[in-house]
Chains A and B, each alone.
Chain A
Amino acid sequence: MTDMLTPVLSAQWGEDKSWKLARYEATGGYRAIRKAFDMKPEDLVSLVKDANLRGRGGAGFPTGMKWSFVPQDNPNPKYLVVNADESEPGTCKDIPLMMANPHVLVEGIIISSYAINCHTAFIYCRGEVLHVIRRLQQAVREAYAAGYLGKNILGTGYDLDIIVHAGAGAYICGEETALLDSLEGRRGQPRLRPPFPAVAGLYASPTVVNNVESIASVPAIVDNGAAWFQSMGTEKSKGFTLYSVSGHVKRPGQFEAPMGITLRQLIDLGGGMRDGHELKFFTPGGSSTPILTAEGLDIPLDYEGMAAAGTMLGTKALQVFDDTTSVVRTTLRFVEFYKHESCGKCTPCREGSWWLVQLLMKFEAGQAEEGDVDKLLDICDNIGGRSFCALADGAVACVTSAVKHFREEFEQGYHTPAWELFPYEKSALFAVEGDPR
């Protein structure tokens, strides 16, 4: 039985100068690349496959399998692009990871690049996180100076460059093909697949796009072995991972645990819900994953558990809302996010997200009309699955799941404003003038 929490990536967070090369090396950093360079690239791919590391960016696709799709007989250069465009509402794990321990990502990139025979890797980091970008830039500079990057790394004859790239504010660039267009200096709009990036990605060359946490997990796997990684987690969801708890709990935060911990356990670790309040609903993995209610408290937070509950593990971003919260209000806000972030390429998403916002504003104001709940679902039906990428599916998942669990609350929007049913100041963390509490 493994322990309740298993800090690996977060083990050194908070230590003095944890982001510096010297500190990382002092705690075993850059040991794994030496092991990796003693292995054949294809054996590294097999190792990560055997570990059953699944992508931590939301989709859960097996990382080693993604690597194995890179056609090594393709004459073009191979590229690794780290997706550090963390923007899914609720998701806040990669940002602290890169701020406190950027070198574990750099080391992961070196190993992963070597495994897929790539000599130029990119870290595409969202632009809105200045200090994280500073730390990434510095970590890469330090790694060059130490001979971990550049030409003939550690005398192996292997060359690798890493480019730290700041985005410019677009959630859609977290979608891997939109990210590639953005990295080519274009508007970030998703591409039609196939061809998949592994075949024709950046500059139409074979490209692997992996999430920060996925790549950062690679050094520990190389260092400790696939069996060690497999010894954590549930039957089909292996390893350690970062769970991000936010919202109406006493103490929100990051929890690195074996796959399959439950929300009840996480809330207990966070000291429980706010005093005098109960859980009303939560997102298991960001706002694009269908919401669950208290009935989901004891379901293992792994890929299978969440799929069986009709939702997705996503980015393991647990946004917890208590009984003061209007589900109509949060649904509107989530959809406003998708409306703002829709890239505009596909009509159902571009237009449909606007229609959803208009209709949800009427629900919030208590001015929806009899039958509008069905209209809402009908619009969702015409958006989901009808666009190039998953943004549209995320935009409707929060609506359909909210209606499924709280239909009566939406129907109250036919006559009563949400702010009368659920006075908004009661949901805030601080007292507001005139609020007696």
Chain B
Amino acid sequence: MSGHFESHFPESGSVDYSDQSTNIDETTIAELRELASRYPQPRSALLPMLHLVQSVDGRVSPRGIEVCADVLGITTAQVSGVATFYTMYKRRPAGHHHLGVCTTALCAVMGGDILLDRAKAKLGIDEGQTTPCGKVSLERLECNAACDFAPVAMVNWEFFDNMDPAKMDELIDKLMNGEEVVSPRGATLTSWKEAERVLAGFPDGRADEGPSAGPASLLGRELARDNNWNAPSADATPAAPEEEAAK
């Protein structure tokens, strides 16, 4: 060991200023202003605003940094300082679909490492890259709060639970072929950009799609029902003095 650190984020230094392209127009700027107006102090809207920038430009673009700074009356350095801190903000264009495979300890052990290798091989790209056709980008995920469904993946931040190699192959084929894909615990997939728009705070009307919960979430509740286990009835316990006072 030479003692020299190798950066874990070799490309994370800054926003990519070599690519000045943008789709941001007056409509976007008006929406950014609207986001800023939703908060007691406008700067609180910066994270949602950067999500909106990504929904338009497919990444945090130099123009996006400028307009956020302009709307909030802060410097571009302040905006890019925030944009480069959070992993959901991409400095290079993400794919039409963005695929993530969890490799934090539990998912890794239960098959996540194998699944990530499989996805890399099938897509022909490394983590952090996008396929040349622009259809799919790939990310190594840190824990996505779905450990009871391990090993897990996600596409456009929709859950794909209890993954295995066959399911991973099928998912990637469908994404690459532009077929319709439904999250087992979410909605029909749109695109990563459209997902970013929802995260910014502009709903897409899909909240009622998908189930109430996945099977693992329901396990305890179902066992309780089968065994007639319940929380105690309120009548069985004496009322607290505060309640008496309220009556």
Binding site for B on A (CB under 8 A): 2-8, 10-11, 13-20, 35, 38-39, 43-44, 46-47, 50-51, 77, 86-92, 94-96, 99-100, 120, 126-131, 133-135, 137-138, 141, 163-171, 182-188, 203, 223-228, 230-232, 240, 243-248, 251-257, 269-270, 287, 317, 319, 321, 325, 329-330, 333-334, 337, 339-341, 343, 354, 358, 362, 424-425, 427-430, 432
| B1 part of interface (Cβ distance < 8 Å) | yes
Inter-chain contact A131/B186, CB cutoff 8 Å: yes
| Nearest chain A CB to B138 CB, angstrom units | 15
* Minimum CB–CB distance for A251 against chain B, Å: 6
List residues of B (189-247) whose CB comes within 8 Å of A's CBs.
195, 198-201, 203-204, 206-208, 210-224, 227, 229-232, 234, 236-243, 245-246
Q: Which residue of B lies closest to A11 (CB)?
A: B221
The answer to whether A427 and B240 have CB atoms under 8 Å apart is no
The 25 sampled A-B contact pairs (Cβ below 8 Å) are: A11-B231, A38-B246, A89-B104, A89-B142, A130-B156, A130-B199, A134-B198, A138-B203, A138-B207, A138-B208, A166-B199, A168-B50, A185-B43, A188-B85, A227-B239, A232-B231, A247-B147, A247-B150, A253-B218, A255-B223, A257-B220, A270-B219, A337-B142, A362-B1, A429-B150
Q: Which B residues are in CB contact (< 8 Å) with A50?
A: 240-242
Instruction: Indicate whether A135 sits within 8 Å of B207 (C-beta atoms), given known contacts A330-B105, A339-B8.
Output: yes
Is the pair B219, A182 in contact by a Cβ cutoff of 8 Å? no
Contact A5 B146, CB 8 Å, known A96-B214, A129-B157: no
Cβ-defined partner of B110 (8 Å) among A86, A171, A247: A247
Expressed in whole angstroms, the Cα–Cα distance for A18 and B236 within the complex equals: 27
Does B21 interact with chain A (Cβ within 8 Å)? Answer: no
* A19 lies within 8 A of B231 (CB): no
Given contacts A137-B207, A337-B104, A432-B114, 15 further A-B contacts (CB under 8 A): A5-B223, A13-B212, A14-B217, A51-B240, A131-B210, A170-B87, A184-B41, A185-B45, A187-B85, A231-B236, A244-B147, A244-B148, A246-B106, A247-B109, A270-B219
CA gap between A131 and B154 in the complex, in Å: 12
Which of B41, B89, B234 contacts A168, CB < 8 Å?
B89
Contact A13 B111, beta carbon cutoff 8 Å: no
Task: Considering the complex, give the chain B residue whose CB is closest to the CB of A253.
Answer: B219
- Select from chain A the residue with minimum beta-carbon distance to B44: A185
In angstroms, Cα B137 to Cα A342, docked, is 25
Indicate if the CB atoms of B106 and A89 lie closer than 8 Å.
Answer: yes
Q: Mark B137-162, 1 if CB is under 8 A from A, else 0.
A: 00001111111111100101111000
Return chain B residues, CB-CB under 8 Å to A248.
110
Closest A residue by C-beta to B146: A92
B86 touches A5 (CB 8 A): no
CB distance from B176 to the nearest CB of A (A): 21
The answer to whether B150 and A128 have CB atoms under 8 Å apart is no
B:29-62 near A, CB below 8 Å: 38-41, 43-48, 50-51
- Once the chains bind, are B45 and A17 in contact (CB under 8 Å)? no
Establish whether residues A254 and B216, one from each chain, have CB atoms under 8 Å apart when the complex forms: yes
In the complex, the 4 A-B pairs of residues with the closest C-beta atoms, listed nearest first? A253-B219, A185-B46, A255-B220, A168-B86
Sorting the interface of chain B by its residue count into under 10, 10 to 19, 20 to 34 or 35 or more gives: 35 or more
Note all chain B residues with C-beta closer than 8 A to A341: 142
Partner of A225, one of B43, B151, B243: B243
Contacts of A128 in B (CB 8 A): 88, 141, 144-145, 154, 157
Which residue of B is nearest A340, CB measured?
B142
Which chain B positions have C-beta within 8 A of A39?
Answer: 242, 245-246
Asked whether B135 is an interface residue with its Cβ less than 8 Å from the other chain, the reply is no
Contacts of B43 in A (CB 8 A): 184-186
Which of these, B109, B159, B164, B220, contacts A321 with CB under 8 Å?
A: B109
Identify which of B47, B106, B238 contacts A227 (C-beta below 8 A): B238
Inter-chain CA distance A188–B240, complex, in Å, is 41
Q: Are A43 and B210 in touch, CB under 8 angstroms?
A: no
The chain B residue sitting closest to A4, CB to CB, is B229
Enumerate chain B interface residues (CB-CB to A < 8 A): 1, 5, 8, 38-41, 43-48, 50-51, 72, 81-82, 85-89, 103-106, 108-111, 113-114, 141-151, 154, 156-159, 164-165, 183, 185-187, 195, 198-201, 203-204, 206-208, 210-224, 227, 229-232, 234, 236-243, 245-246
Chain A, Cβ-Cβ closest to B239: A225
Interface pair A333/B81, CB less than 8 Å apart: no
Q: How far is the CA of A77 from the CA of B237 in the complex (A)?
A: 37
Q: Are A88 and B143 in contact (CB under 8 A)?
A: yes
In-complex Cβ contact of A14 among B198, B212, B223 (8 A): B212
Which residues on the A side are within 8 Å of B50 (C-beta)?
Answer: 168
CA distance A153 to B3 in the complex (A): 62
Chain B residues with CB under 8 A of A89: 104-106, 142-143, 147
Q: How far is the CA of A8 from the CA of B165 in the complex (A)?
A: 37
Nearest to A102 among chain B residues (CB) is B207
CB proximity of B84 to chain A, nearest CB, Å: 9
Q: Which residues of A contact B143 (CB under 8 A)?
A: 87-91, 171, 337
Closest B-chain residue to A324, C-beta based? Answer: B109
**Contacts A5-B229, A287-B105 given; does A428 touch B111 at CB 8 Å:** yes
- Distance between A215 CB and nearest chain B CB, rounded to angstroms: 17
Contact indicator B221/A169 (Cβ below 8 Å) = no
Chain A residues within 8 Å of B39, by CB: 163
Are A185's CB and B147's CB within 8 A? no
> Which single member of B86, B198, B204, B224 contacts A7 (CB below 8 Å)?
B224
* Chain B residue contacts of A432, Cβ below 8 A: 114, 165
Would A96 and B217 be within 8 Å (CB), given that A47-B240, A130-B186, A131-B185 are in contact?
yes
| Residue numbers in B under 8 Å from A130 (CB-CB) | 156-158, 186-187, 195, 198-199
What residue in chain A is nearest B228 (Cβ atoms)? Answer: A3
The reply to whether A47 and B207 contact each other, CB–CB distance below 8 Å, is no
Quote the shortest CB–CB distance from B60 to chain A (angstroms): 10
If the complex has contacts A6-B230, A325-B109, A432-B114, are A134 and B204 also in contact, measured as CB distance less than 8 A? yes
**Also in contact, A246 and B220, with CB within 8 A (given A134-B203, A203-B41, A227-B237):** no
What A residues does B243 contact at CB under 8 A? 35, 47, 225
How distant is B9 from chain A, measured CB to nearest CB, in Å?
9
Query: In the bound complex, do residue B212 and residue A8 qualify as a contact, i.e. CB atoms below 8 Å apart?
Result: no
Report how far A141 CA is from B220 CA in the complex, Å.
30
